[in-house]
Amino acid sequence: MPIKFTNFEEKKAAFAAAVQEGDENAQSEALNAMMEALADDVQNDIMSNVNTQISDRSILQSRGQNVLTSQEMEFFNAVVEDGGFKDTETLPKETQERVFEDLVSTHPILQQLGLQNLGAVTEFIYGDPEGAAVWGPLFDGIKGQLNATFRKESISQLKLTAFIPLANDMLKLGPVWIERYVRTMITEAMAVGLEKGFVAGTGKNQPIGLLKDPAGSVVDGVYPDKTSAGTLTFEPGRTTINELEGVVSLLAKKLKGDGTDADEPKKIAGKVVMVTNPFDTFKVQAAATTQNANGVYVTNLPFNPIMSESVFVPQGKAVFFVRGEYIAAMGGTEPIKKFEETMAMEDATLYIAKQFATGKPKDKYTSQVYDLSLNSDSTTTTTTSA
């Protein structure tokens, strides 16, 4: 059952704004406010459910409630009995898998990026196979050859930290609700961190985001912003067709093993994703909405890009990327630890959960950034630069 947020989304937007402004002090304050709002929203929702839901396990399961495995029940029972987590405890494997499932099922941008759970894997190989089958005479030697340029990518996983303020009153609710609370806190906190990294990460101790140029000049570990590939107006008719034709043509480019442009484009049909700031999403949808002969309003765009949104995309910008062309991966976790530094909470204990993750575009054509000009008198200036 989804959590009903009241203040978290607002604080998340404020955190995204602080990230875009680049003020580290403001980011820290906004992050703290966001995590406090998340904890309050989750606790309030759970307390509401505890007071209204029937406790019978089979009925709860039929209504979409979580039923724990024996391992999870034993683990969270121990949390209740011990009054919190031990420093050496790692969440059960089933709980970790549910966190990953929640991440991709409830956060469309992570699903579109193709977030993978690689466990302990530290590198993988991918390629562009060509000439996999070759015609030849019967009984002749084997002609078929997989002629491909394979690339091996090392995953230097980065640590992503989530804070879990566990109120003493929560321990009285029992293992099922403790598990749900902890899993929700980790999922939402990790989702914000992953989304920020995959969209706007600088590459310095964090992923290389879609907004960054992987082929640009790196300064002190920071990758530069991608240069805008043009302006999109989404004016009805031929204008939008021409604009998006320029977008998909640029995304379809691919590189050879030596780094030069290949002669043939890559196949991107049905895999182009458009990401906008939530404030711009409705403007784009409005521009793409028409009324058909039956009086029904229909929203569609040429070449059928998959529409998604992220608060970490600046207003007035749109990011296009190709599904499968961005490496988004997460691996194992570290044991939950008690946070004993400067922050103290009344009637609660603060814990930290660390997740390993990484992200980077496969090449400079994985994503492209465009300016938005959604006024009626705007004109298109779409280019074909990378």
Please report the pLDDT score of residue 381 as a whole number.
Answer: 41
Whether residues 191 and 285 fall in one domain:
no
Task: Give me 373's structure tokens.
Answer: 């000009």
Evaluate if residue 379 carries a pLDDT over 60: no
**192 close to 12: Cβ distance less than 8 angstroms:** yes
Q: How far apart are alpha carbons 232 and 238 in whole angstroms?
A: 13
Rounded mean pLDDT, 235-249: 91
Task: Report which DSSP code applies to 236.
Answer: T
268 within domain boundaries:
yes
Grade residue 237 by pLDDT with cuts at 50, 70 and 90.
Answer: confident
**185 close to 39: Cβ distance less than 8 angstroms:** yes
322 within domain boundaries:
yes
CA 375 from chain centre, in angstroms, equals 30
Evaluate if residue 332 carries a pLDDT over 90: no
**230 close to 368: Cβ distance less than 8 angstroms:** no
Whether residues 322 and 247 fall in one domain:
yes
> Would you call 15 exposed, middle or buried from its count of C-beta atoms within 10 A (0-12, 13-18, 19+)?
buried
Whether residues 60 and 171 fall in one domain:
yes
Whether residues 165 and 58 fall in one domain:
yes
Whether residues 56 and 117 fall in one domain:
yes
Whether residues 192 and 50 fall in one domain:
yes
Grade residue 188 by pLDDT with cuts at 50, 70 and 90.
Answer: confident
Evaluate if residue 181 carries a pLDDT over 70: yes
Range scoring the smallest mean pLDDT among 39-43, 228-232, 344-348: 344-348
> Would you call 128 exposed, middle or buried from its count of C-beta atoms within 10 A (0-12, 13-18, 19+)?
middle
Count of domains forming the chain = 2
334 within domain boundaries:
yes
Domain enclosing residue 294, as ranges: 231-327+364-372
Whether residues 251 and 274 fall in one domain:
yes
Grade residue 85 by pLDDT with cuts at 50, 70 and 90.
Answer: confident
113 within domain boundaries:
yes
Rounded mean pLDDT of the chain? Answer: 80
Whether residues 350 and 294 fall in one domain:
no
Evaluate if residue 318 carries a pLDDT over 90: yes
Please report the pLDDT score of residue 242 as a whole number.
Answer: 94
Please report the pLDDT score of residue 229 as a whole number.
Answer: 94
Residues 6+ apart with CB under 8 A from 220: 204
Q: How far apart are alpha carbons 348 and 346 in whole angstroms?
A: 5
pTM of the predicted model as reported, rounded to 2 decimal places: 0.79
Full DSSP string of 238-289: HHHHHHHHHHHHHHT--B-TTSSBPSSPPP-TT-EEEEE-HHHHHHHHHHTE
Taking only the tens place, the pLDDT of each residue in 268-300 is 999 999 999 999 999 998 888 888 888 898 888
Rounded mean pLDDT, 107-118: 88
What three-state secondary structure class fits 153?
strand
**44 close to 177: Cβ distance less than 8 angstroms:** no
Whether residues 12 and 93 fall in one domain:
yes
Range scoring the smallest mean pLDDT among 106-110, 225-229, 260-264: 260-264
**353 close to 181: Cβ distance less than 8 angstroms:** no
Rounded mean pLDDT, 246-265: 86
Taking only the tens place, the pLDDT of each residue in 214-233 is 999 999 999 999 999 999 99
17 within domain boundaries:
yes
138 within domain boundaries:
no
Whether residues 181 and 245 fall in one domain:
no
132 within domain boundaries:
no
Whether residues 199 and 87 fall in one domain:
yes
Grade residue 196 by pLDDT with cuts at 50, 70 and 90.
Answer: very high
Phi and psi for 176 in degrees, rounded to 5?
A: -60, -45
CATH number for the domain that contains residue 281: 3.30.2320
215 within domain boundaries:
no
Whether residues 165 and 101 fall in one domain:
yes
Task: Report which DSSP code applies to 171.
Answer: G
